[in-house]
Amino acid sequence: MAEKKIRVTVWNEYRHERNVPEVAEIYPKGIHGCIAEFLSECGDLEIRTATLDEPDNGIPDEVLDNTDVLIWWGHIAHAEVADDRVEYIKNRVYNGGMGFIGCHSAHHSKPFREIVGATGNLSWGDEMHEIMWNMKPSHPIAAGIPDHFHLDMEELYAEPFYIPNPDDIVFGSWYESGHIFRAGCTFTRGVGKIFYFQPGHETRKSFYNPYVRQIIKNAVHWTAPNDFGYEIKNEAPRVDSVVEE
């Protein structure tokens, strides 16, 4: 059976990699390039990348209209993302079922905050040792992931994390500084599915970690939209009785 491929767009701010040699060394093709590369190991994805400084932030309407899952990495330039792009993304998630995967500092990105309904505020600090705990092994995003794994160093992201109750908290993280974090969370908004995942600081190699990669692959498949059995429209229709139809 020739399944339709999931169309993934990997969006990256792509500033650190061009301005900071240390980052360029870790992610020579950009973080987007790294993510796109390991995702290509899945046979069922059609992958493209997009970056902030491209026209329309790399995500004009026609790209988003043909995206099933949008992966987002942003950090220092959240404010530069055009508001009309954020609105279009939100509409695609709410009414089109486009999946959204927010990586790392995407917790403070406009799309994440607008889609989920959150400030995304958290506490943050130095890079340090992080241990990731699998808190929902039955979730498809946790498939194949052990009960815990280590990230040598990551940026500290910590509670209190100001998000609504997630549908599922799949991963939680521990830091040597005494902090904990809801590190892997799912949400549904409109007819779209959202996954937020903590790892991915630009100066660290989390995107080379095999478990991080597996989790993102799983998340792409989980956030991809269902085949809806009716047309989802952004409207509030007037309806008549359905009893005798």
Closer residue to a second copy, CB minimum distance, 162 or 208: 162
Closest to 80 in 3D by CA, of 41, 119, 54: 54
Q: Name, in order, each residue with C-beta under 8 angstroms of 76's C-beta and a sequence gap of 6 or more.
A: 13, 15, 16
For a second copy, the closer CB: 40 or 177:
177
User: Among 153, 199, 203, which Cα is nearest to 23's?
Assistant: 203
Report in angstroms how near the CB of residue 158 gets to a second copy at its nearest: 7
Report, in Å, the least distance between residue 179 CB and a second copy.
7
The span from the CA of 105 to the CA of 84, in Å, is 21
Name the 3-class secondary structure at 12.
strand
Helix, strand, or coil (residue 94): helix
Contact 50, 33 (CB under 8 A): no
Give alpha helix (H) positions in 40-167: 61-65, 83-96, 110-116
Please tell me whether the peptide bond between 199 and the residue prior to it is cis, using omega within 30 degrees of 0: no
Closest CB to a second copy among residues 56, 127 = 127
Least separation in angstroms between residue 47's CB and a second copy is: 19
By beta-carbon proximity to a second copy, the closer residue of 27 and 181 is: 181
Contact 99, 223 (CB under 8 A): yes
Q: Return the number of the residue (21 or 241) whose C-beta is nearest a second copy.
A: 241
C-beta of 25 vs 147, nearer to a second copy: 147
The H or E element containing residue 16 is helix 16-19
Separation CA 129–CA 67 (nearest Å): 35
Cα–Cα distance for residue pair 207/227, rounded to 1 Å:
30
State the minimum distance, in angstroms, from the CB of residue 60 to a second copy.
23
Cβ closest to a second copy, residue 24 vs residue 128? 128
